[in-house]
Every structure is written in C-alpha cells, then in structure tokens.
C-alpha cells in the first residue's frame, strides 16, 4: 500500500487487497477513504487490516455513503476489539455496544460533546477508538472536529516537555457527565466509575509516539508537588492549574485539527489513544442522530 504523507495532501491508490482511494484532508490529521464498503469490510479481516494501518497513519478516517446495517456496524468495529456501553448515553437495545448519540428538539441540550475530549479517559482503560455512523444529520451544522495530540505534544516548547515528563493527572466522570446530575445520582455514578489516573504524556502502544493526554475530563495533576514546582504551598494551585489549562488548550490549535461535515451514512473511525474530538453544537433545533461503537482500549502508560 502506498499513501502520501500528511504533509503533502494528494489522492493515491492502495494496491494490495483492495483498491482504496486515500485523500489526506489536512497536513495534521484525517483522511477520507473511497471505494470501501464497510459492510464488506465487516466480513473481511484483510480489508480491516488495511484500514487499521491507515488509521495509525491518519488517526481519523472518513467514509461517505455507508448504507450498512447496525449488525454490520457492530461486526466491523468488533474486528478492532470488544465493545462497551456508555453509562450515561444509552445503547441500541438489540446491539449492545452501539451507543446512541441522538439529539433533537425533544431531547435536553446537555452540551456534553462540545468540549475537546478523548472519549472516556475517566476509565482505567479508555477506549482504543470508535466507529461512528451518522443516521440523521442537520441540513447544515453539526460538524465534528478532531485534533492530533501527537502533534500537540511534538510542538510543545522543550522546557514544557521537560516539566511535564513524569507528571500524572486525574480524570473524572463526576466532574463532567456527573456535574449536571442531582447529587445522589452523581455520587452513585462516581462510585461506579471512580476517577482514573493517567500519565500526562502517554506512549501510543502501537506506534511508540508520545501523546499529550489531558482533556476536558482532566481535573488536576496528582504528583505536581515537587521541590522544583512548589517552593511554598501557594505555588501549587495556580501553578498546577495554569499549566494544566495551558496543556488542555493545545487541542484548540487549528493547525492540529480537521473539521468534517457529516452526511447521512457518513462513518468516522478514530484512534482515541492519540486524538481528541469536538462536536459542534450549532444545529439546534434540527435533529442529529449518531450511533457510535466504542472499542475497549488498554491502560495508558
């Protein structure tokens, strides 16, 4: 298979198992794949292997016009690993693991997806990635954006890289999904999903790349209190909070991002280990119904 580098967007063709047209969408992240039927791929491990290689390279892949069944959606995602439900968003009753992200004028405007986030870092093992299909989309608006957190790390000033090496941070469902709940419900959610702790810089388990791994679920550093960082107690709070906010803000840099316009039967697959995403909530009162298969990942290290 030959693909161009992200720095030189071009249309190229794969030549092995299948003829896949690959068009990188930005210099940082994302490619559209054409001439691929994910229904066929759901039954073809060789084709999935090609797609997986492209996923490692481009971090998020897009496919148009995928008129696949829910069973094919789940079967395709299952090639990458076991699926998991989401404790707040419900799943399709006949297809466990196929999470419904349904928004319409009748549903509350809960504002969960319009924050830059890596899915479910409040889990000890956040997802490997997700396969998302648009079932119904607004006539305009409701785009989703992704950002390359390997690039975000690479572009940090060297002194910041030095300062954050070895730092760890807490990730919380209580401070995000729980924050809009009545107190008893929030505490029950937290009891079920205690806060997780992850390295601020994780290593991608397949590519070996360093990834800046803080996002909207991250609440605080857990080991900031060193002699170098803290002369007196009052250094800790502003110092740590400012540094954490600065690191989280690296996802907001347009040069690291791609923005994708959803259509009915658009599918996006992302590598959750090295990206964040943001669903733009500009479409109300139109409906926007997506179904997402989240694939269980590993413990970040």
The contact set with ligand SIN (CB under 6 A) reads 101, 113, 119, 132, 144, 277, 279, 290, 292
| Cis-peptide into 285, omega within 30 deg | yes
Residue closer to ligand SIN by CB (options 14, 279) is 279
- Whether 202 is catalytic: no
State the residue for tokens 């249309």. Answer: 11
Residue closer to ligand SIN by CB (options 273, 277) is 277
Residue closer to ligand SIN by CB (options 156, 218) is 218
**List 73, 123, 171, 292, catalytic entry:** 292
Going by C-beta distance under 8 Å and a sequence separation of 6 or more, which residues neighbour residue 163? 229, 243
β-sheet with 275-279: strand ranges across = 257-260, 144-148, 275-279
Shortest spacing between CB 127 and ligand SIN, in angstroms: 9
Rounded distance between C-alpha atoms, residue 28 and residue 59, angstroms = 9
- Whether 58 is catalytic: no
- Distances from the Cα of 220 to the Cα of 148, 198, 247, 255, angstroms: 22, 11, 12, 26
Instruction: Note the Cα 60 to chain centre separation in Å.
Output: 9
Shortest spacing between CB 131 and ligand SIN, in angstroms: 11
Shortest spacing between CB 197 and ligand SIN, in angstroms: 22
- Whether 171 is catalytic: no
- Whether 123 is catalytic: no
**List 95, 119, 271, 288, catalytic entry:** 119
Residue closer to ligand SIN by CB (options 22, 290) is 290
Q: Which positions are catalytic?
A: 117, 119, 277, 292
């Amino acid at each position: 298979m030959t693909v161009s580098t992200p720095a030189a967007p071009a249309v190229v063709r794969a030549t092995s198992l299948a003829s896949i047209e690959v068009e990188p969408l930005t210099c940082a992240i994302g490619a559209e794949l054409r001439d691929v039927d994910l229904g066929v791929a759901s039954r073809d491990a060789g084709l999935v292997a090609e797609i997986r290689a492209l996923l490692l390279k481009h971090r998020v892949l897009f496919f148009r016009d995928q008129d696949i069944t829910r069973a094919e959606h789940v079967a395709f995602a299952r090639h990458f690993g076991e699926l998991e439900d989401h404790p707040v968003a419900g799943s399709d009753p006949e297809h466990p693991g196929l999470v419904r992200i349904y928004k319409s004028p009748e549903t509350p405007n809960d504002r969960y997806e319009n924050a830059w986030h890596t899915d479910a870092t409040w889990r000890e093992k956040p997802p490997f990635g997700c396969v998302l299909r648009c079932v119904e989309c607004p006539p305009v608006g409701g785009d989703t954006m992704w950002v390359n957190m390997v690039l975000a790390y690479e572009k940090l000033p060297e002194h910041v890289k030095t300062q954050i090496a070895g730092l760890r941070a807490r990730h919380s469902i209580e401070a995000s999904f729980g924050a809009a709940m009545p107190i008893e419900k929030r505490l029950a959610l937290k009891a079920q999903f205690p806060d997780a702790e992850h390295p601020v810089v994780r290593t991608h388990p397949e590519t070996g790349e360093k990834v800046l791994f803080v996002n909207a679920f991250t609440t605080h550093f857990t080991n900031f209190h060193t002699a170098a960082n803290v002369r007196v107690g009052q250094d800790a709070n502003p110092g740590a909070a400012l540094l954490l906010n600065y690191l989280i803000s690296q996802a907001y840099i347009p040069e690291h991002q791609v923005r994708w316009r959803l259509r009915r039967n658009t599918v996006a697959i992302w590598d959750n280990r090295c990206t964040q995403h943001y669903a733009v909530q500009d479409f109300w009162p139109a409906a926007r119904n997506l179904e997402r298969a989240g694939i269980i990942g590993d413990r970040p290290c």
